[in-house]
Amino acid sequence: MILEAAILKVKPESSSDFESGFRGASRLLAEAPGYIGHELHKCVERADQYLLLVRWNSISDPIAGFRKSEAYRTWQELLSPWCETETSGEHYVEIRT
């Protein structure tokens, strides 16, 4: 299992529109091959910052799959009016602790 983590910076005063837009766009993510689940979190300290966590079956699902798909281009187009950063992030494997 791979965790993708992205810090999303939204334009000032755009939080509400971004959250509505994200709800509409999130089905594109949920339909991607290898998608397990996602969480969107809003930062307490920085009003315009979000943390998107997406769980995938394997590293190839987001990198060779979703990011190269037509669905990803649509996803970016839907969110770009409010986002100041790319909506894809870094990838992690869990360490047992």
**Positions in the binding site for a copy of itself (CB under 8 A):** 2-3, 5, 19, 22-23, 26, 38-46, 49-51, 53, 59, 90-95, 97
Nearer CB in complex with a copy of itself: 40/67: 40
Nearer CB in complex with a copy of itself: 14/49: 49
| Neighbour count for residue 80 (Cβ, 10 Å) | 12
Shortest CB 82 distance to a copy of itself, Å: 13
d(CA 74, CA 72): 5
Between CA 19 and CA 81, with CA 86 as vertex, the angle to 5 degrees is: 50
